[in-house]
């Protein structure tokens, strides 16, 4: 990679993949359709450069295609965009390696070395840095995605293509090897083409959980040791001290199979099965590593401690590991028996990670004593660090449930017992009742109490938790939480179910009003002596970005989230407890999405303090963790950003900034609500101009797109809300309300707005993400959807949205003091422009297909159109690099 033209290898890879796809198309679809695809590609390039005649010709050609031809064209452009994503991921790895090779002259932003050097330059004492790294606690929570459109089979094939591209960089290929790599690439692209990319059935929660296990197996498992090794190396270099051998600065949790909020498919039986499958997968991965380690540790010398353990065995390390291998095998077999529904007697199985760590540490200490530190630092240390991170279940499984479900269960119990209706009690009476029962040693929920089906399932879930190993379970997250009783209720239900090691209870504050009330709720909760003693000095709070954005708009929601975090930190300090904030961010800007480094650095000062929990969803997982090298870079960025936010926090916002931000918030909130909530025609317009109705009927996620069946925006989940606006390229949730607010503020004090953008990371991050979204959006494409799909009587809604978009664009340019969007980020701008000619035909096809699907009824022809429509949805998601 040349410093004068760092993107040359990327262009070369894109060209290689494009040529390979072209070769595949010629062989697979015939010359006639191939020539049409090439004509469409050329016309689209010219149309994207402003050629009106080319645009008309392109539209006429696309709208004149048969259903079969539409499917072929959609697949061709969709696959190109997926291949381009692969090339970009490989290029990110290439850039990281280039920086590592030239680290003395050019350090990569966010690398461990560059970050530690910054700490040194800013006089952070080595002792302080060491303590910060030693206490680093980052928990990345893998979640399923309700609008995930790509099949796991294709993900695996795309990952293989990525590895083949890496071969071009990493190996000095002979001419024969180069030819074989090209042939392998052609075989893989042909295999992709001949694979049905359409899900024919909705994935089950167990399918989604297995996909999560595959991400760990194929990417995070190989990536983790290298990341920690580099962290240890740089820590030793800058502080003179090594990271503890069993340190776990990053760990992983999951919602896949545990998140039942609005998803009736996630039952107690499903969650229990996922827990068992996770333990089986962990045992299998450890067994593979222990087998490889046993083959490597053939030495005969050992220390006295190991010799006492294995007796006179000639190969002491192998003798010790033999017992561990047997335990891991027994664990897998025991789980298989349990999954088969058969009874199982007492087995010698792994139930704590210490059972794996103890023999490994014994080997490590022995090798050190026998002057074999270099051997101890190899595969053995890698395995010890995996055990410290992944435990016996790979991830800790969270349970998420809506607060109202617990209220309903308790209401049924109190009514049966004749003590009144819990549902009708006020907050004071509920708390009094819950505190009394929590302090009592007598159970009050028995199996004899008749419960409705829904409440019975909630109770079964609590009983299921009681049967699980503590190492399998994470947090019990309560969605739509608003009162202390919501948290105490879950504590009581766990107690009544006999949970010996209760899951920590985490309230999720989502809407603007709930975020505003969150500090008061926490303050009241911590005033309860029983609860304060119960949490042992640590409380976790989840901040919801999705529903707050849908409820109030991105700007008002962002300020509500910022204020809530600040005030929650103050409440925690008042009560002398440690607070961890759990950020429920999505992949898109409309749901709190932002580059990890930027997002963490823009948090309120004092809100990170070395501890961070954040969701990683759907396409975000695929983008960040598709290859081990990308995963390692992602872990590095999370670690360095968390350390920076802790050791070099941003400044406290000035009072003038806060006042201006409140003005922006109020104006933005009102402008957003006037369009989305106070406009009687908006919902009808939304349904017509987006593919939302069709998305709901597609097999693209285990969870329904709505919490409850209602055509309004309130019942719609945030993910399909964002997804639908992404497909038609207006990306409304990510900017609506921002322009109105900035126009008011800029008219009164433009200098202050620019000062905030220059000096306040939170505000700069918000404006930068809106700037990026406005560049991704396209009024021309959005207007095309409207023309094809919306009745004339509703089109005035589109006029209003176009006006607001242009106002927002102008206001962002003025606030950032720039002349054109992304002028300070030419690499991102070039990437977006590169995709445009391949996205444009998919949008035209999608609008045409939506029109046909909505007018033709359920015919055989229409089923072909539905297939083509799903391919365009997948392709646009790939091109925009998010679904929702």
State the pLDDT confidence band at 601, using cuts at 50, 70 and 90: confident
Sign of torsion, CA 848 849 850 852?
Answer: positive
Q: Tell me the per-residue pLDDT of 765-793, one tens digit each, with 9 for 90 and over.
A: 999 999 999 999 999 999 999 999 999 99
State the pLDDT confidence band at 586, using cuts at 50, 70 and 90: low
CA–CA distance, 337 with 360 (Å, rounded to integer): 28
Q: Is a pLDDT exceeding 80 seen at residue 294?
A: yes
Burial 252-280, CB ≥16 within 10 A → b, else e: bbbbbbbbbbbbebbbbebbbbbbbbbbb
Give the angle 9-10-12 at the CA atoms, nearest 5°. Answer: 60
Averaged pLDDT, 448-469:
97
Nearest residue to 118 via CA among 832, 520, 597: 597
CA–CA distance, 261 with 235 (Å, rounded to integer): 42
Q: Which runs of consecutive H residues, i.e. helices, occur in 498-613? A: 512-526, 529-534, 546-552, 554-575, 596-601
What is the SS3 string spanning 821-844? Answer: CCCCCHHHHHHHHHHHHHHHHHHH
Judged on CB neighbours under 10 Å (0-12, 13-18, 19+), 329 is middle
CA distances from residue 418 to 438, 449, 458 in whole angstroms, order as listed: 19, 12, 21
CATH code at 268-389: 1.20.1440.90
Q: Is a pLDDT exceeding 80 seen at residue 634?
A: yes
Averaged pLDDT, 576-582:
96
Residue bearing the bigger pLDDT, 733 or 99 = 733
Asked whether the beta carbons of 517 and 552 are under 8 A apart, the reply is no
Q: Tell me the per-residue pLDDT of 137-177, one tens digit each, with 9 for 90 and over.
A: 999 999 986 555 567 778 788 889 988 988 877 667 888 88
234: Cβ–Cβ under 8 A, 6 or more apart, which residues?
Answer: 112, 113, 116
Residue extents of the structural domains in the chain:
268-389, 401-602, 655-824
| Chain center to CA of 286 | 26
State the pLDDT confidence band at 525, using cuts at 50, 70 and 90: very high
Q: Tell me the per-residue pLDDT of 185-237, one tens digit each, with 9 for 90 and over.
A: 999 999 999 988 777 777 899 999 999 999 999 999 999 999 999 999 999 99
Asked whether the beta carbons of 279 and 393 are under 8 A apart, the reply is yes
Judged on CB neighbours under 10 Å (0-12, 13-18, 19+), 103 is middle
DSSP string, 757-792: HHH-HHHHHHHHHHHHHHHH--HHHHHHHHHHHS-G
How confident is the model at residue 883, as a pLDDT?
47
How confident is the model at residue 784, as a pLDDT?
95
Q: Tell me the per-residue pLDDT of 311-345, one tens digit each, with 9 for 90 and over.
A: 999 999 999 999 999 999 999 999 999 999 887 77
Judged on CB neighbours under 10 Å (0-12, 13-18, 19+), 683 is middle
Q: Is a pLDDT exceeding 90 seen at residue 816?
A: yes
Q: Is 714 helix (H, G, I), strand (E, B) or coil?
A: coil
CA–CA distance, 520 with 175 (Å, rounded to integer): 69
State the pLDDT confidence band at 722, using cuts at 50, 70 and 90: confident
- What is the residue whose two structure tokens read 């925690």? 572
509: left (phi over 0), alpha (psi -120 to 50) or beta: beta
State the pLDDT confidence band at 884, using cuts at 50, 70 and 90: very low
CA–CA distance, 490 with 487 (Å, rounded to integer): 6
Nearest residue to 661 via CA among 566, 573, 574: 566
Q: Is a pLDDT exceeding 60 seen at residue 257?
A: yes
How confident is the model at residue 196, as a pLDDT?
84
Q: Is 477 helix (H, G, I), strand (E, B) or coil?
A: strand
What does the block give as tokens for 870? Answer: 């799903």
CA–CA distance, 350 with 266 (Å, rounded to integer): 27
Q: Is a pLDDT exceeding 80 seen at residue 719?
A: no
Q: Are strands 578-584 and 473-479 parallel, antiparallel or unpaired?
A: unpaired
CA–CA distance, 553 with 561 (Å, rounded to integer): 12
- Residues with catalytic annotation? 145, 550
How confident is the model at residue 861, as a pLDDT?
62
State the average pLDDT for the chain.
91
How confident is the model at residue 862, as a pLDDT?
74
Asked whether the beta carbons of 672 and 737 are under 8 A apart, the reply is yes
Q: Is a pLDDT exceeding 80 seen at residue 28?
A: yes
CA–CA distance, 452 with 456 (Å, rounded to integer): 6
Averaged pLDDT, 617-640:
88
- Give long-range contacts, CB 8 A cutoff, 24+ apart: 244-249: 244/134, 245/361, 245/364, 245/381, 245/384, 245/385, 246/357, 246/361, 246/384, 246/385, 246/387, 246/388, 247/134, 247/385, 247/388, 248/385, 248/388, 248/389, 249/133, 249/136, 249/137, 249/138, 249/639
Beta bridge pairs of residue 706: 716
How confident is the model at residue 622, as a pLDDT?
79
CA–CA distance, 777 with 480 (Å, rounded to integer): 32
| Chain center to CA of 806 | 31
Helices 112-121 and 628-647: angle between axes, nearest 10 degrees? 20
How confident is the model at residue 710, as a pLDDT?
57
CA–CA distance, 122 with 547 (Å, rounded to integer): 39
State the pLDDT confidence band at 718, using cuts at 50, 70 and 90: confident
Q: Is a pLDDT exceeding 60 seen at residue 742?
A: yes
Question: Per mean pLDDT, which range of 91-95, 227-231, 674-678, 757-761 is the poorest?
Answer: 91-95
- What is the residue whose two structure tokens read 């053939």? 298
């Amino acid at each position: 990679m040349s410093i004068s033209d760092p993107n040359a290898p990327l262009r070369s890879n894109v060209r290689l993949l494009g040529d390979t796809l072209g070769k595949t198309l010629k062989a697979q679809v015939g010359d006639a359709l191939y020539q049409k695809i090439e004509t469409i590609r050329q016309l689209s390039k010219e149309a994207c450069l402003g050629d009106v005649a080319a645009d008309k010709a392109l539209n006429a050609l696309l709208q004149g295609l048969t259903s079969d031809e539409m499917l072929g064209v959609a697949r061709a452009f969709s696959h190109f965009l997926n291949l381009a994503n692969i090339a970009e991921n490989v290029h990110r790895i290439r850039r990281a390696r280039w920086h590592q090779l030239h680290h003395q002259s050019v350090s990569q932003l966010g690398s461990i070395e560059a970050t530690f050097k910054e700490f040194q330059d800013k006089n952070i004492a080595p002792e302080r840095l060491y303590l910060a790294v030693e206490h680093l606690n980052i928990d990345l929570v893998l979640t399923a995605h309700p609008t995930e459109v790509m099949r796991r089979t294709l993900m695996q094939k795309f990952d293989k293509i990525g590895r083949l591209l890496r071969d071009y960089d990493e190996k000095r290929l002979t001419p024969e090897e180069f030819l074989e790599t090209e042939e392998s690439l052609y075989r893989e692209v042909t295999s992709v083409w001949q694979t049905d990319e359409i899900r024919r059935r909705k994935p089950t929660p167990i399918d989604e959980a297995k996909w999560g296990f595959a991400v760990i197996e194929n990417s995070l498992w190989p990536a983790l040791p290298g990341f920690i090794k580099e962290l240890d190396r740089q820590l030793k270099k800058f502080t003179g001290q090594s990271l503890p051998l069993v340190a776990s600065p990053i760990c992983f949790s999951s919602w896949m199979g545990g998140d039942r909020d609005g998803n009736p498919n996630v039952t107690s039986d499903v969650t229990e099965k996922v827990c068992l499958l996770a333990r089986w997968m962990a045992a299998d991965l450890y067994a593979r590593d222990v087998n490889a380690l046993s083959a490597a540790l053939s030495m005969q010398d050992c220390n006295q401690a190991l010799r006492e353990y294995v007796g006179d065995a000639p190969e002491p390390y192998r003798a010790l590991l033999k017992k561990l291998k047997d335990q891991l095998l027994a664990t897998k077999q025991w789980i298989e028996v349990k999954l088969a529904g058969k009874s199982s007697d007492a087995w010698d199985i792994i139930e704590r990670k210490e059972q794996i760590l103890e023999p490994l540490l014994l080997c490590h200490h022995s090798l050190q004593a026998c002057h074999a530190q270099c051997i101890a630092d190899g595969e053995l240390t890698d395995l010890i660090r995996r055990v410290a991170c992944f435990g016996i279940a790979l991830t800790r499984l969270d349970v998420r449930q809506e607060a109202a479900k617990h209220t309903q269960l308790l209401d049924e119990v109190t009514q049966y017992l004749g003590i009144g209706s819990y549902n009708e009690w006020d907050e004071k009476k509920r708390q009094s009742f819950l505190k009394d029962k929590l302090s009592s040693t007598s159970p009050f929920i028995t199996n004899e109490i008749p419960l409705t089906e829904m409440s019975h399932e909630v109770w079964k879930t609590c009983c299921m938790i009681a049967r699980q190993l503590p190492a399998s379970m994470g947090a019990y997250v309560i969605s739509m939480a608003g009162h202390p009783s919501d948290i105490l209720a879950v504590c009581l239900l766990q107690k009544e179910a006999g949970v010996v090691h209760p899951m920590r209870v985490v309230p999720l504050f989502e809407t603007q009003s709930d975020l505003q009330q969150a500090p008061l709720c926490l303050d009241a909760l911590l005033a309860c002596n029983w609860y304060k003693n119960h949490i042992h000095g640590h409380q976790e709070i989840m901040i919801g970005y999705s529903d707050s954005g849908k409820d109030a708009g991105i700007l008002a929601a962002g300020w509500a989230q910022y204020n809530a975090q600040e005030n929650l930190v103050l409440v925690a300090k008042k009560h002398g407890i440690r607070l961890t904030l759990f950020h429920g961010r999505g992949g898109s800007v409309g749901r709190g999405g932002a580059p990890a480094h930027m997002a963490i650095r823009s948090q309120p000062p004092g809100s990170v303090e070395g501890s961070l929990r954040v969701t990683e969803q759907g396409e975000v997982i695929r983008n960040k963790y598709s290859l081990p090298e990308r995963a390692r870079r992602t872990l590095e960025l999370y670690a360095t950003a968390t350390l920076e936010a802790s050791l070099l926090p941003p400044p406290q916002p000035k009072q003038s900034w806060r006042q201006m931000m409140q003005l922006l918030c109020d104006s933005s909130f009102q402008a957003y609500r006037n369009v989305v909530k106070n406009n009687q025609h908006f919902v009808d317009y939304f349904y017509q101009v987006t593919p939302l109705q069709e998305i709901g009927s597609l097999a693209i996620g285990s969870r329904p797109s709505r919490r409850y069946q209602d055509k309004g925006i309130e019942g719609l989940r945030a993910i399909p809300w964002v997804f639908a606006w992404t497909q038609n390229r207006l990306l409304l949730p990510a900017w609506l309300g921002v322009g109105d607010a900035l126009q008011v503020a800029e008219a009164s004090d433009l200098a202050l707005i620019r000062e905030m953008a220059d000096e306040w990371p939170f505000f700069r991050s918000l404006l930068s993400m809106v700037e990026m979204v406005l560049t991704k959006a396209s009024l021309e494409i959005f207007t095309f959807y409207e023309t094809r799909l919306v009745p004339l009587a509703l089109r005035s809604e589109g006029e209003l949205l176009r006006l607001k978009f242009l106002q927002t664009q102008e206001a962002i340019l003025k606030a950032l003091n720039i002349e054109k969007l992304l002028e300070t980020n030419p690499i991102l701008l070039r990437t977006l422009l590169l995709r445009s000619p391949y996205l444009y035909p998919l949008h035209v096809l999608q609008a045409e297909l939506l029109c046909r699907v909505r007018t033709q009824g359920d015919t055989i022809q229409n089923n072909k159109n539905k297939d083509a429509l799903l391919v365009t949805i997948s392709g646009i998601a790939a091109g925009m690099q998010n679904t929702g």
